[in-house]
Structure 1
Amino acid sequence: MSGDGRSGRLVIAVDGPAASGKGTLARRLSAHYGLPYLDTGLLYRMVARAMLDAGHDIRDAAAAERIVASFDQAGFAEETLRGREIGEAASVVAAMPAVRKGLIERQRAFAAQDEGAVLDGRDIGTVICPEAPAKLFVTATPEVRAARRHRELAGRGEAATFEGILADIRRRDARDSGRSDAPLKAAEDAVILDTSALTVEEAVAAAVTIVNARRRG
């Protein structure tokens, strides 16, 4: 089974909430299958970063729409796109229909590469690549996700409490799931992968098994 009917193509859509492990899984699947990988969340973080750098109110939808139409993906250092502040800002920007609409074609163009691709985000299986043969919805409990994010931030030297991060995650879950345009949800044909009790290697093995089963039809 191919990604869109072209023989040999494979498109893998990996969706899920913040800190569920979807990015790690998507990168590992990219390496395993030799496919290009796109963290689509970085696109929203780029828009948010450009908004903040320009001094715009992060809820200014008109300013965000102007930025989406012209920003250069190569113009951002990845280290400026990480951290709690930019993650929260990106979640606000991602709820804007004009922003989501403006980024759709960038994501679909990436997925249309000859060999296929691996994309992770919030609406890959439902909106960006609804015809992808392999769809995973990666999740974990809010407490497990908060603990993961706390370790990640502590490793970068960022001060944050577990309680504060857990509150952030619950707020983002509510915003992402409740938005009117492309809400966070599993595609009807996605396989749910709960990583709460899995090691990284166990989660990767489970994901590869899921993808291989989908490829066989």
Structure 2
Amino acid sequence: MVKTGAEGDGQSTDVMKINKPDDLGDIATLGMSLAEAKLLLAGVQREIVAAQARAHAVRRPDCRCGGGVCHVKDYRDHAIATLLGQVTVRLPRFRCAVCGAIEVGVDWPSHCRSTPELDQLQAHLAALMTYRTAADVLEQMFPVGAGNDKETMRRRTPTAGAALRDHAANAPETAAAITVTLDSTFIRSCEDGERHLEVRVGNVETESGGRQVFGAVAGSSAGTSTPSAERKARH
């Protein structure tokens, strides 16, 4: 893995060594296996996170007292579960030289234990299957390494659902207004043993001028929506 700087200089890091036979006598050796791919992805993820952490550690926060200069006090490791494996983010803590206050860093969510991508996938799988099965799918397909326990998914799924519920829904670009009117009346029945029938009629109209009239007898599965029914409804 090669990291290229702004001036073109690069640093290389060995992530993983893969040995494969030169012939295809055994089809099972074709390409990388799932286990090798998981190890490779996890190794690349660790290297990228480490590079990001080093760049982030250079930044210095502003002290809350307003006039102090923050110096590095110590370093703390933060274990974060990601879809491509658990990583350790090593970040400094700072102490103000004037007031002695301790700052944890610049824009770092100190209480975060997993990435949003992993949380969303966990919630999606848990909505489609049982927690145990969803955790097994994650373990089989991705090098998660942490956060794929069924009890962890049981706790995180309601939290992800609450976040979706509280998220403001986007209004549709166009919304067609539909007006529905309903009415009912009783008429004398011509059948023996029935004195009255309850007839229900309705009218549906749109802003563009479309119209549909329907009618039905209460207790009957048959309904009408023909022009003759419309004329009868008007009378």
- TM-score (norm: length of structure 1): 0.25
The higher-RCO structure (CA 8 Å, 6+ apart) is 1
Larger Rg: 2
Say which structure is richer in helix. Answer: 1
What is the TM-score when the length of structure 2 is the normalising length?
0.24
Which has the larger share of strand?
2
